[in-house]
Chains A and B, each alone.
Chain A
Amino acid sequence: MTLGLYPGCSLKGSSREYAESVITVAKAFNINLEEIKDWNCCGATAAHNMNKELSLALPARILSLAEKQGLKEIVVPCAACYSRLTMTKYELAKDPELKAAVTDANGLEYTGSVNVLNIIQMLDKYITPNLDGRVIKPFDHRVACYYGCLLVRPHEILKFDREEDPQSMDVLMLKAGATPIDWAFKTECCGAGLSVSRTSSVGRLSGKIIGDAKDRGAEAVIVACPMCHSNLDMRRDAINSYLGEKIDIPVLYITQAIGLALDLDRKALGLQRHFVKVTV
């Protein structure tokens, strides 16, 4: 089976282990991920903070290219890109004038027909139904499933899971043999795009997340977003100095944790690339 893939910039750079684990897990279930040819950056936070039309035109170009390539459905593992692509589809569907302006700027046909899946939706649709008998090495740990902002909000547009105390990742991790814990910071913001320009805010916001996970006995934090991952993992020094203690709970992408449960090769899942050593 073939499914379209929009990797986005992070998965080609600082979060390449997310891409590696997504592709490795998909391959284990005979899913071929076909990358959208000549894709561009979705514009991320910078574009929607500075220029509305640009923030819609960039994702629209990606969706147009997918259409041109004949892809009916694409998976977008980065929660931030998923949010931008889904928001764009929503905005262009309800505003023909905006759609005309964006199509003109892009010079590409856009119908909005491509179905956009986030990573959890992709796993639920194509992997979980075939999971029976495949979990050879249950991920037998207490895990804090961290959803962050953009995977579940705004619900009016994304229509995925629920905004308060979402469950989709917890259910997946349960199937992978883990014990998801109840905790308070599932959907609090990690500091997102301020990682570089206001690292201290990220230390504080992400610090509260890691602190609560630790207080409730989590052995790993599970994420589905490269921004969340880099803030919780790469910014661990800032977090630990905010908390005034040394916390070494690792942060895993959901596809890495599932890959481990399937007993896939650790290196193929990119676990060696993390800042906080993955000991689980």
Chain B
Amino acid sequence: MDYPPSVIMRMLQTGIPNLEDKVLRSFSIWVCLTCEMCFARCPMSIDIPKMMDFLREKSINEKKANPKAKEIVAFHKSFLDSIKYTGRLYEIGLFVDYKARTLKILDDLALAPKMMKRGKLNLIPEMIKDRSGIASIFRKSNKKNKN
């Protein structure tokens, strides 16, 4: 993390546009796992994970995502694309799409055959019937978003 969550909150508190911009361009907002630990322990009950979600969405929409978060953002995009077309996550498709986006061709290559051997990978995607319904959800909830 480039700024700890407490510093992110302070930066936003100041209301200085330049600092807000720094937050939106930070790496921290992308490595936050939404583990909810800070919220559980915050003496002021600040819902930091919820703010992180908000900041990530804003950062993407304003095209300010930190370049170091390229792989993380690519993974999220590949994940959403997978469910957009089939309604469910297709793990092989997700891997291929993610590799195409990041050119991390060699990462995790050894994992696939091991998963296959244990019956953990579906060769054929599970497709739901109402795919137009899913498409409509994506279309309508994307109205405000450009991702």
| Chain A residues in the interface with B (C-beta under 8 A) | 9-10, 12-16, 38-41, 43-55, 57-58, 61, 104-108, 149-150, 153-155, 163-164, 187-189, 191-194, 196-199, 201, 234, 272-275
Contacts and interface: CB of A to CB of B under 8 A. Distances in A.
Interface in B121-146: 121-122, 126, 128-130, 133-134, 136-138, 140-142, 144-145
Nearest to B119: A273
A107 B145 contact: no
A274 B34 CA distance: 27
B98 A52 contact: no
Main secondary structure of the interface of B (DSSP, over half): helix
Given A38-B129, A192-B35, A196-B98, A274 B118 contact: yes
B83 A43 contact: yes
Given A10-B89, A193-B75, 12 more contacts: A38-B130, A39-B88, A40-B83, A105-B136, A105-B141, A153-B40, A196-B75, A197-B72, A199-B108, A201-B31, A273-B118, A273-B119
Contact of A50 (B76, B98, B111): B76
A52 B54 contact: yes
B20 interface: no
Contact of A153 (B39, B107, B144): B39
A145 to B, nearest CB: 18
A34 to B, nearest CB: 17
Interface string B94-108: 010010000000011
Contacts of A46: 75-77, 79-80
- The residue in B33, B107, B115 that gathers the most chain A C-beta atoms within 10 A of its C-beta is B33
Given A105-B136, A275-B118, A48 B53 contact: yes
B33 to A, nearest CB: 5
Give the size range of B's interface with the partner.
35 or more
A61 B114 CA distance: 34
Contacts of B136: 105-107
Contacts of A10: 89
Contacts of B89: 9-10, 13, 41, 44
Interface in B1-44: 31, 33-37, 39-40
A12 B122 contact: yes
B56 A13 contact: no
A52 B57 contact: yes
Contact of A54 (B35, B77, B138): B138
Contacts of B76: 45-46, 49-50
A58 B137 contact: yes
A14 B53 contact: no
Given A44-B79, A105-B137, A50 B72 contact: no
Nearest to B140: A105
A15 B122 CA distance: 11
Contacts of A187: 37
Contacts of B142: 51, 54
Contact of B60 (A40, A50, A104, A106): A50
